[in-house]
Amino acid sequence: MKVILFGASGMVGQGVLRECLLDPEVEEVLSVGRSATGQTHAKLREITHADFTDFTPIAAQLSGYDACFFCLGISSAGMKEADYRHITYDFTLAAAQVLARQNPAMTFIYVSGSGTDSSEKGRSMWARVKGQTENALLRLPFKAAYMFRPGAIQPLHGIKSRTRLYRAGYTVMAPLWPVLRALFPRQVITTEQVGRAMLAAAKRGGPQKLLENQDIAVLAG
């Protein structure tokens, strides 16, 4: 299986990259980012690309892949809707539209989040924008598309968030994960589980298009 990964330098993406590189069924991972991941591995190839609203200049290099794991994303904290939408919706759809054209047999997996608003009409700005993004992705002609809606993600294997505020939060929270897991077992998941679930969905399909935290945990096995 050949995989394209967006957001490989981020917390979720690093976890997904790790699982992809460990999986013997994955022959190649192509990371597309604005900067290189800094990792080297026989199965890893990288493209650094500046304009995330236009992937047509690299379209030919995005051809021949079986799956895309789209882990690029930002926190909406302190952001205006237009700016958050630009990165969340515009970047994702710009990539997905090119990928759907180049790879009609592709499985596309998008990381949104628990609480995403499929109605696109709710009061929460981030949830509406993620809902618009999910709905638009589901209209594209991929072989299959799955929307992952994780709750709180515990980073494993030394993985760190790219967001400074979150990094500080994760350091404080580190000893609390066992408590959180015990109190909210259906809302907590690990980077390892997210990666394994993506690989399972790409290989064998998922139970439904929208996967909540618990569905992701089941798929991860």
Point out which residues bind ligand NAP (CB under 6 A).
7, 9-13, 33-35, 52, 71-74, 87, 111, 113, 150, 152-153, 161-163
Considering the complex, state which of residue 9 and residue 132 has its C-beta at the smaller distance from ligand NAP: 9
Minimum distance from CB of 175 to ligand NAP (Å)? Answer: 17
Considering the complex, state which of residue 105 and residue 171 has its C-beta at the smaller distance from ligand NAP: 171
Considering the complex, state which of residue 105 and residue 179 has its C-beta at the smaller distance from ligand NAP: 179
Minimum distance from CB of 104 to ligand NAP (Å)? Answer: 25
Considering the complex, state which of residue 74 and residue 218 has its C-beta at the smaller distance from ligand NAP: 74
C-alpha dist (Å) from residue 38 to 35, 49, 150, 160: 9, 15, 26, 14
Q: Give the tokens for residue 78.
A: 């302190």
Considering the complex, state which of residue 11 and residue 67 has its C-beta at the smaller distance from ligand NAP: 11
CA 110, CA 56: separation in Å to the nearest integer? 20
What do you get for the CA distance between the two ends of the chain, in Å?
19
**Among candidate residues 116, 121, 129, the one with its CA nearest the CA of residue 209:** 116
Q: Give the tokens for residue 152.
A: 């709180």
Minimum distance from CB of 53 to ligand NAP (Å)? Answer: 10
Comparing every residue's Cβ against ligand NAP, the nearest one is 73
Helix (H/G/I), strand (E/B), else coil: 4? strand
Minimum distance from CB of 51 to ligand NAP (Å)? Answer: 10
CA 130, CA 149: separation in Å to the nearest integer? 10
Give burial (CB, 10 Å; 0-12/13-18/19+) of 57: exposed
Alpha helices by DSSP H, the chain: 11-22, 81-85, 92-102, 125-138, 164-173, 177-183, 191-204, 213-220
Minimum distance from CB of 71 to ligand NAP (Å)? Answer: 5
Minimum distance from CB of 24 to ligand NAP (Å)? Answer: 25
